[in-house]
Amino acid sequence: MTYIMFLFLFGLVLGLIAVASNPSPYFAALGLVMVAGMGCGVLVGHGGPFLSLVLFLIYLGGMLVVFAYSTALVADPYPESWGDRSVVVYMVIYMVVVVLVSGLFWGGWYEFSWVSVDEFEEVSMFRGDIAGVALMYSLGGGMLLISAWVLLLTLFVVLELTRGLGRGTLRAV
């Protein structure tokens, strides 16, 4: 299980580097799908299959619509891919930064921190992820509303940024 979690976390960091280093929205959206899948795999490994399913469906159903719309508006004829020289330089720089920062914290990470929620099922009546969902809707209702508001605001910001000089339906195509 530790090796699978290591692969999920490595894929998560690799996907984040792919998103951060690529200026093209086409490949950035692909990297975000990879990050969402790996992050959901980490959540499943730690005993939260319901929460990871909800996260994956909401993320792919909601936010990738914004990226599809923004890539349709950008319409870059020759997007920079992951093999281009500038993107590879940024990826190498980000990898070096990740290795250096992880080297700083290497002494504090031990294997006992990889315990999943399901290993404590003898002392609990409920699964760990179901109790977390109940808490999210009861005590975390305010944060849920703030998160929904931030997602809506992000939608409008992304659409405004990708609009460019066009004026809605009156723009020249």
Q: What is the pLDDT of residues 77-118, one digit of tens each?
A: 777 777 788 888 988 999 999 889 888 777 666 555 555 655
Average pLDDT of span 50-61:
79
**Measuring CA to CA, which residue among 23, 18, 28, 50 is closest to residue 117?**
50
Percentage with pLDDT > 90 across the chain:
5
Q: What is the pLDDT of residues 133-173, one digit of tens each?
A: 677 677 777 887 888 888 888 878 777 776 666 555 545 54
Residue 94 token pair: 């980000």
**Measuring CA to CA, which residue among 23, 25, 21 is closest to residue 69?**
25
Question: In terms of CATH architecture, what is 2-130?
Answer: Up-down Bundle (1.20)
34 pLDDT more than 70: yes
H helices present in the chain, as ranges = 2-21, 25-45, 49-58, 64-74, 85-104, 128-138, 141-163
Average pLDDT of span 59-84:
71
Residue 5's pLDDT band, with cuts at 50, 70 and 90, is confident
pLDDT at site 127: 62
